């Protein structure tokens, strides 16, 4: 079942380069929709609270004790669904983005989807590592091949950061193999490794390797610097795949591997990790406020969000972990919506600079509305889904230590500033002339080149009147908007999936005693400290 789920986009990705360019988009959309259907089928077969399910296991490399082993638990299932939902949305929203070489664009997007799904389903550490690293190949070609000038350098920076993290992870994974070999049976299966009796010192070293890799992936301060450059240069669709799907591997890995295999070392490292998370929350938000490039701004808000998610994971409570898992889903939906809407704006104005937009509200009321909803979701407005998860993480943070919660709360205040100020600068005030290819020469911003830039080309064809969002664009973000509202009022289905996982992880493996969070249908978390 899970193999088919991975194979559908993978085979489509391999097939698309051989198809006529005209039908490649439709094939890509069809394949990703098919994957979504399969993911929903997985959901229906999933028994809530049943641990690791739909497992498949065959020996892959006997000499290393490596298995091709797949399975989903609550965490994996949510990530699989997120990936399966976001990919067709990205393909639909970026209908014109791949004009120059559409086939390779769609092939790489689908390859990235397939490998990401494999990452979330892998239950063998070797397999996880292989697909974890392999995701970088499509990601590199997507960032480097599409987007604006300077993308090759951004792609290089992205790849170097990720591979550095990956190789540190390699050392740790090999270390795990050696530890398991010393205890008799070398194995990479997650279920075996969780039983492993690792000495305190070895555990801490191995944990460090895993954590560094995931911190780069997520990203956390101070290894986040690739994030802003990459999101600025890549197309919005690619940024969505990177930030909303690929980066989730970082926090996913922290939960599954850091906490799952090294519970003791994770608790030992908690003070440092929490400090990094808090710095990320505040620093990411502050830097985001100062940005003039809308895509860069959204990228940096994610730094703040990943700080929240990491914080929720490392305060060691079921509430925090479950809140973080929920946060991962909500951040995926909310940020994807924001990126895509920003992409619509950029394609209309021909610039990514906020200072050159302005006064768009009258011309494009629908776009303004969409931006507002996505933005308010990002800042955690009650009634939209990110609020619940942010609230759960904050409650858990206050439980851990009041000052940790207090610092984290400032992140929310800052979020209000960067979202609302961005909205104000883009949509209100006097309008600007659209920046076309002719006008591009007049500016001294070298990221608005005269040619070779997909975004600018479209702006050149834009008339004086800025068109509002068309039907396809609205259709692409509609599922995300609906999800934001629906899960804002009824988050319980998501919590039902994440709670058993968080409970099992923290109470069985880590050994924390507390209750999983519950929420009323109205959206307010029920919690004795919280109310």
Partner 1 sequence: MDFVKPTIEYLELLPLLIVFGAAALGVVTEAFVPRERRHVVQVGLAAAGVTAALVATVVVGTGLDEAGDGAGRGLVGAEGSVVVDGPTVYLWGLVLVFSLAGIALFAERKLEAGVPAFAGQAAALPGSEGEREASTRGLAHTEVYPLVMFAIAGMMLFPASGDLLTMFVALEVLSLPLYLLCGLARRRRLLSQEAALKYFLLGAFSSGFFLYGVALIYGYAGSMSLGAIHDAVVAGDGDRTLLLIGIAMLSVGLLFKVGAVPFQAWTPDVYQGAPTAVTAFMSAATKIAAFGAILRLYYVAFGSERWDWQPMLWVIAILTMLVGAVLACVQSDVKRMLAYSSIAHTGFLLTGVLGVQASGELAEGQVTSLQAVLFYLTTYGFATVGAFALVTVVRDANGEATTFSKWVGLGRRSPVVAGVFALFLLSMAGIPLTAGFVGKWSVFTVAMSAGAWPVVLVAIASSIIAVYFYVRYIRLMFFTEPAADAEVASVTIPSPLTSVTIAVCAAATVALGLVPGPVLDLAAQVGDFVR
- Binding residues for partner 1, rule: CB under 8 A, are 59-65, 129-134, 136-137, 140-141, 144-145, 151-152, 155-156, 159-160, 163-164, 167-168, 170-171, 174-175, 177-178, 181-182, 184-186, 452
CB of 453: closest distance to partner 1 in angstroms?
Answer: 13
**Shortest spacing between CB 145 and partner 1, in angstroms:** 7
At closest approach, how far in Å is the CB of 299 from partner 1? 21
- Which one, 119 or 415, has the nearer CB to partner 1? 119
Closer CB to partner 1, 120 or 391, in the complex = 120
Nearest approach in angstroms of CB 206 to partner 1 is 11
Nearer to partner 1, 452 or 493 (CB): 452
Whichever of 175 and 383 has its CB closer to partner 1, that residue is 175
State the nearest-atom distance from the C-beta of 242 to partner 1, in Å: 17
Instruction: Identify which of residues 160 and 526 has a Cβ nearer to partner 1 in the complex.
Output: 160
Q: What is the number of alpha carbons within 13 Å of residue 380 lying toward its C-beta? A: 25
d(CA 159, CA 170): 16
Distances (CA, A) of 132 to 114, 144, 183, 230, 331: 11, 19, 27, 18, 21
Shortest Cβ distance from residue 155 to partner 1 (Å)? 7
End-to-end CA distance of the chain: 43
Provide the token pair at 253: 């890995």
Residue closer to partner 1, measured from CB, 180 or 280? 180
The DSSP symbol for 383 reads T
Between 208 and 474, whose beta carbon lies closer to partner 1?
208
Output the CA torsion sign for 524, 528, 530, 531.
positive
Question: Which structure tokens are listed for 145?
Answer: 């091949």
The CB-of-372 to partner 1 minimum distance in angstroms stands at 37
H or E stretch at 54: strand 53-61
Spatial contact of 86 and 110, defined as CB atoms under 8 Å apart: no
Q: How far apart are CA 345 and CA 76, in angstroms?
A: 33
Smallest distance, Å, CB 130 to partner 1?
4
Residue 464 DSSP code: S
Q: Output 151 or 305, the one with its CB closest to partner 1.
A: 151
CB 62, min distance to partner 1, A: 6
Contact 60, 127 (CB under 8 A): yes
Nearer to partner 1, 43 or 174 (CB): 174
Find, among 72, 95, 70, 97, the residue nearest to 82 by Cα: 72
Q: What is the DSSP string of 479-528?
A: HHHHHHHHHHH--HHHHHHHHHHHHIIIIIII----PPPEE-TTSPEE-T
How far is residue 457's CA from residue 96's CA, in Å, rounded to a whole number?
A: 11
């Amino acid at each position: 079942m899970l193999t088919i789920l991975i194979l559908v986009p993978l085979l489509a990705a391999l097939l698309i380069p051989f198809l006529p360019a005209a039908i490649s988009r439709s094939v890509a959309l069809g394949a990703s929709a098919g994957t979504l259907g399969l993911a929903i089928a997985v959901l229906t077969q999933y028994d809530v609270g049943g641990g690791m399910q739909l497992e498949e296991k065959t020996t892959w490399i006997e000499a290393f004790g490596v298995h091709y082993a797949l399975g989903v638990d609550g965490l994996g299932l949510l990530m699989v669904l997120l990936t399966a939902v976001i990919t067709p949305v990205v393909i639909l929203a970026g209908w014109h983005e791949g004009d120059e070489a559409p086939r390779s664009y769609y092939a790489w997007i689908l390859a990235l989807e397939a490998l990401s799904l494999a990452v979330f389903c892998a239950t063998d550490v070797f397999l996880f590592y292989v697909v974890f690293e392999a995701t970088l190949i499509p990601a590199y070609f997507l960032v480097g091949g599409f987007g604006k000038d300077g993308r090759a350098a951004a792609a290089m920076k992205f790849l170097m950061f990720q591979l550095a993290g990956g190789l540190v992870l390699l050392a740790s994974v090999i270390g795990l193999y050696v530890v398991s070999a010393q205890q008799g049976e070398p194995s990479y299966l997650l279920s075996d490794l969780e039983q492993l009796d690792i000495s305190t010192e070895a555990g801490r070293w191995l944990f460090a390797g895993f954590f560094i890799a995931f911190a780069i992936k997520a990203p956390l301060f101070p290894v986040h610097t690739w994030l802003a450059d990459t999101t600025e240069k890549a197309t919005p669709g690619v940024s969505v795949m990177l930030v909303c799907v690929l980066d989730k591997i970082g926090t996913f890995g922290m939960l599954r591997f850091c906490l799952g295999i090294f519970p003791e070392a994770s608790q030992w490292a908690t003070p440092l990790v929490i400090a990094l998370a808090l710095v990320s929350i505040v620093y990411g938000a502050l830097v985001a406020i100062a940005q003039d490039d809308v895509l860069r701004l959204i990228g940096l808000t994610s730094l703040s969000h990943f700080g929240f998610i990491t914080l929720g994971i490392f305060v060691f409570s079921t509430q925090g972990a479950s809140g973080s898992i929920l946060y991962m889903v909500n951040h995926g939906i909310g940020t994807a919506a924001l990126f895509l809407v920003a992409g619509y704006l950029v394609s209309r104005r021909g610039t990514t600079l906020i200072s050159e937009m302005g006064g768009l509200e009258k011309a494009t009321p629908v776009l303004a509305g969409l931006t507002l909803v996505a933005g308010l979701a990002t800042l955690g407005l009650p009634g939209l889904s990110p609020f619940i998860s942010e609230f759960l993480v904050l409650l858990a943070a206050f439980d851990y230590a009041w000052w940790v919660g207090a610092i984290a709360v400032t992140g929310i205040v800052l979020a209000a500033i960067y979202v609302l100020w961005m909205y104000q600068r883009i949509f209100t005030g006097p309008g600007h002339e659209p920046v076309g290819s002719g006008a591009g020469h007049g500016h001294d911003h070298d990221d608005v080149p005269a040619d070779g830039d997909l975004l600018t080309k479209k702006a050149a064809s834009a008339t004086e009147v800025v068109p509002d969002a068309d039907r396809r664009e609205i259709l692409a973000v509609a599922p995300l908007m609906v999800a934001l509202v629906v899960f804002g009022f009824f988050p319980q289905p998501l919590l039902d999936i994440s709670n058993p996982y968080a409970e099992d992880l923290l109470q069985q493996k880590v050994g924390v005693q507390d209750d999983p969070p519950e929420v009323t249908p109205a959206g307010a978390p029920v919690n004795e400290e919280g109310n």
